[in-house]
Each structure stands twice: as structure tokens, then as C-alpha cells.
Amino acid sequence: MATRSKSSQRWLKEHFSDPYVKKAQAEGMRSRAAYKLEELVERDRLLKPGMVVVDLGAAPGGWSQWVRQELDQMERGLPDGARRGRMIASDILEMPSLAGVDFLHGDFRDDAVLSRLLEMLEGEQVDLVLSDMAPNKSGMDAVDQPRAMHLAELAMDFADGQLRTGGTFLIKLFQGIGFDDYVRELRRRYAKVAIRKPAASRKRSPEVYALAQGKLAQVK
């Protein structure tokens, strides 16, 4: 058996001592990432009954799982015929099914996958677009950052086309080349843009979350 590197051993020790990992295990959540979303959503009360939510880069499903649970709780006791929220998730990786979540397996960069996602929406406009997409890391910033920004551009394009006026876009970004330009583009499209780093996001990680609220009818 190959001996684990010191960095691998350090990561495993940190992972299993992580309070959010322990909390996710205790509460039956698929990933610690659910607690990043929980903080971001609850701070600004982003979820409402009957919303259409799309989760890009969803696997293993922590975000979709948390949103579906929250929508179910909000919608409990609503009268028959009341509009119920929809949760649509997509990822290049397979994701075990979640009750109440429509999942599309495929590469979001492919036009055919995007077309299937639009078919799943059945003409409905989206209220909230979530993107936790990230490329497979090579360890080289000169490669990883452009890949990450390309995915972010695709997510923005999706929100441009499918998010309703007044809707909200929440996306993970990595600080580096292209970050400032991307945030400027968000400010042209949304009434309010904030950069957040939730407590569950590891401090050494360059990831932050851009919360863009109030999609404008026209780009500034």
C-alpha cells in the first residue's frame, strides 16, 4: 500500500476534525458545503415558498438537499393548489437522487446539456440561480483560474437568459485574474452585489461567494 504524503495526512486530519464535517455527518447532510449556503441564504432571506431554484455544479448534493428541505418546511401547510417550489440540479458528476430534486447529469459546457436543462424548466423563469461549480484542480493557478472563470462566465450567461427580472444569482468565485472584471459585470446586471465568505469556507481557500440581487431588466 502506498504511503500517504504528509500533505494528504494533514488534509485528512483537518477534514475529520472539521466541525462542519462532523455537523454534516450528524445531521445527515451530504456535504459541509450545505452550511456555507445556509449562512448565505439566511442572512438575506433569499428563499421563499414557490421559488424555482437551479443549482449548477450540484454534486454531491449538499446545496440542493438543504434548499429542498427549506422549501418543504416553508411550504408545509400551504393550501391545496398553492404553487410549490422546484429544485433543479445539474453536474458533470453523478449525484444520488434526492426526493423533490430534478437532476440532470452532464457537462454544463455542452450545448446539448444546456438544452436539456432548459427543457426541464418547461418555460418557467428561475427565481434563484446557485453555482458552486469549480474545475478539477491541477495545482497551477495559470491553468485553474481561467478554467474557474470560464465556468463562472457560463453560469452568468445562464442567469442572463433564465433568471427573472428581480431574481438572485449566487456564485462561488476564486480570487485571482479575471475576478474584478467579473464582479464589475455583475454590477452592470444586478441592483446589489456583495462579496461574502461564510464561516464554513476554509480560511486558506481563495473561494468567496458573489451574491447578486435584483436582476435588472437591462444591462447597464
What CATH number should be reported for the domain holding residue 209? 3.40.50.150
Residue 197 included in any domain: yes
- State the residue range of the domain holding 188: 32-215
172 as an active site residue: the answer is yes
CB burial string 147-170: b at 16+ within 10 A, e below: ebbebbebbbebbeebbeeebbbb
Consult the annotation and say whether 111 binds a ligand: no
Residue 110 assigned as binding residue = no
What is the layout of strands, in order, in the sheet containing 207-215? 101-105, 86-91, 52-56, 126-131, 163-174, 207-215, 190-196
Q: What residue type is assigned to position 155 of the chain?
A: A
User: Residue 144 annotated as binding?
Assistant: no
Q: Is the pLDDT of residue 20 over 80?
A: no
What is the domain count for the chain?
A: 1
Does the annotation flag 107 for ligand binding?
yes
User: Confidence band (pLDDT; 50, 70, 90) for 169?
Assistant: very high
Task: Note whether residue 220 is domain-resident.
Answer: no
> Does residue 103 lie in a domain region?
yes
Question: Which of 172, 192, 203, 215 is labelled catalytic?
Answer: 172
Residue 188 CA: distances (Å) to CA of 183, 202, 210 = 9, 30, 14
Lowest mean pLDDT among 17-21, 84-88, 113-117: 17-21
Q: What is the mean pLDDT of residues 39-54?
A: 95
Q: How far is CA 81 from CA 75, 77, 125, in A?
A: 12, 11, 19
Residue 4 placed within a domain: no
Report pTM.
0.88
